[in-house]
Amino acid sequence: MMICLNSLSDLKNISKDTFKDFLLVLNPFAPKTVKNIWDKVFKENIIKKTLNFIFKRWKNNDFKFPEYNEKYLIEDTIQYPIMINGTTRTQVVINKKASEEKIKNIVLNDVVVKKWILNKEIKKFIIVKDKIISIVI
């Protein structure tokens, strides 16, 4: 929710439909706040006596939950935590399609990793795909 709110805050203008969709998604978490905002912004006093006003409108099909596009939910990159001798020292973001050799090169060229492995022999370099990278020195 905060990521969405921050992205919307960066825009100069947002449409009423976008703002309504945001309020619909926010409603289960903060129904009273949503009701107050709705009443002030849209000048509609939807239901006075209940905080679940949007859910009652859903039953009548007045509101539909916002639709999403699955292609925007697919991540192209993954953030790997890098452990050196069992302690997480840094994180790197790597393309999911990168080969193990490319992953190893990216990790070994990271500034923090270079500091920790300087003048030391790497005994093991373990990559758990899409999870973690561990270096034993």
| Residue whose token pair is 């492995």 | 117
Query: Is residue 42 pLDDT above 90, yes or no?
Result: no
pLDDT in tens, 101-127: 999 999 999 999 999 999 999 999 999
Angle between helices 16-26 and 2-10 (to 10 degrees): 160
pLDDT tier for residue 48 given thresholds of 50, 70 and 90: very low
Query: Is residue 23 pLDDT above 90, yes or no?
Result: no
Across the chain, what does the average pLDDT equal? 82
Query: What is the domain count for the chain?
Result: 2
DSSP-assigned letters across all residues of 10-65: HSS---HHHHHHHHHHHTTT-HHHHHHHHHHHH-----SS-S-HHHHHHHTTS--P
Which residue range forms the structural domain that includes residue 126? 77-136
Percentage of the residues of the chain whose pLDDT score is greater than 90: 39
Average of per-residue pLDDT across 79-86: 94
- Of 71, 86, 117, the residue at which a domain comes to its end is 71
* Bridge partners (DSSP) listed for residue 78: 94
CB–CB of 108/127 below 8 Å? no
CA atoms within 13 A on the CB side of 9: 6
- Rounded to whole angstroms, the Cα distance separating 41 from 66 reads 19
- Of 53, 71, 89, the residue at which a domain comes to its end is 71
Residue 43 belongs to some domain of the structure: yes
